Amino acid sequence: MIDVHAHYLPDSYRTALTAAGHAQPDGMAAIPEWSAVEHVALMDTLGIEVSMLSISSPGVWSADLAREVNEEGRRTVVDHPGRFGLLASLPLPDVDAAMTEIAFCCDHLDVDGFAVLTNAGGTYLGDPSLAPVFRELDRRGARVFVHPTSPPCWEHTSLGRPRPMLEFFLDTTRCVVDLVLSGTIAQHPDIEFLIPHAGAALAMVADRVSVFSLVLGVDADIDVTRDLGRLHYDLAGFPIPRQLAALRSLTADDHLHYGSDFPFTPGFAVAGACDVLASVTEPANLLDRLRANSERLFPRLAQHNG
């Protein structure tokens, strides 16, 4: 398998989390333990050949921290040939710093794509201020992984529960709908967006948003169901038995990818989710399909496998 949704926690990032008061990130019990060696061991156990590494929520908040974790991610890729790829972090909403980091990562770190959070301090990805970043990512034909984080109102909406349970799903849905309605998706056809957790609630709200787009009078170039349908989606989490069926009504099977969400999803739960995906009969040979899809999405993988 190819895992497009896997995280790494280098020592510099762990230290920064604790120093910034995020020892229990997004309301979780603790920062999970992680090492590249243990990650590879789990991959070997589950039959995962390559994992695309990214920094999860709450992400990076400065250009210096983004550079540090991106360089450490690159070292992990080099130190474990053929086992890891890198989706580099961008220090949004600082546009100038993000543009500098895109150039550095593409020209010096040979990254496979970029990972961005649904919002950065309340600035969502569809905000007009971020337009230069998406123009540059489009110019480079980038792969962009959109990962959820806590919304700015989480103190009032999470009701004291860990935000990944519901708030992550709702913020993913909110962010992607904004990307569509703002025209960010339609205006950047050379960006391949990857949405986690089987698209969160997008399949359930797509038709409702489509009707509202007519009421709102959005640009005629925007087609909600078309634009949602061209996105890529990973199946991290627990999309069986209900969510996958809904997602397949929104996008084609060749836009689906495997994701583990390790180590925020612990190894035993990753193994159980793999077993469930392997048992799926519709579509047939799902895990083989997911691998082929990811090889097409990330050209380096296809080249590596001949």
Helix 11-19 vs helix 63-79: crossing angle, to nearest 10: 150
| Cα(223)–Cα(215) distance, integer angstroms | 13
Query: Which of 13, 25, 104, 107 lies closest to 54, judged by CA?
Result: 13
Secondary structure letter of residue 46 according to DSSP: H
Entry pTM:
0.96
Say whether 52 sits in a helix, a strand or coil. strand
d(CA 146, CA 116): 5
The structure tokens 């190894």 sit at 267
Residue 184, amino acid: T
Q: Where are the beta strands (DSSP E) in the chain?
A: 2-7, 50-54, 84-89, 113-117, 119-120, 123-124, 143-147, 192-195, 232-234, 256-257
CATH number of 2-304: 3.20.20.140
Return the domain boundaries, the chain. Answer: 2-304
Q: Average pLDDT across each block of 10 residues of the chain; the chain has 306 residues. List them in order.
A: 98 96 96 97 97 98 96 98 98 98 97 98 97 98 98 96 97 98 98 98 98 94 97 96 96 98 97 95 94 95 65
Q: What is the pLDDT of residues 215-262, one digit of tens each?
A: 999 999 999 999 999 999 999 999 999 999 999 999 999 999 999 999
Q: What are phi and psi of 110, to 5 degrees?
A: 55, 50
Q: Which residues contact 28 (CB under 8 A, 6 or more apart)?
A: 162, 164, 264
Helix 131-139 with 95-104: angle, nearest 10 deg: 20
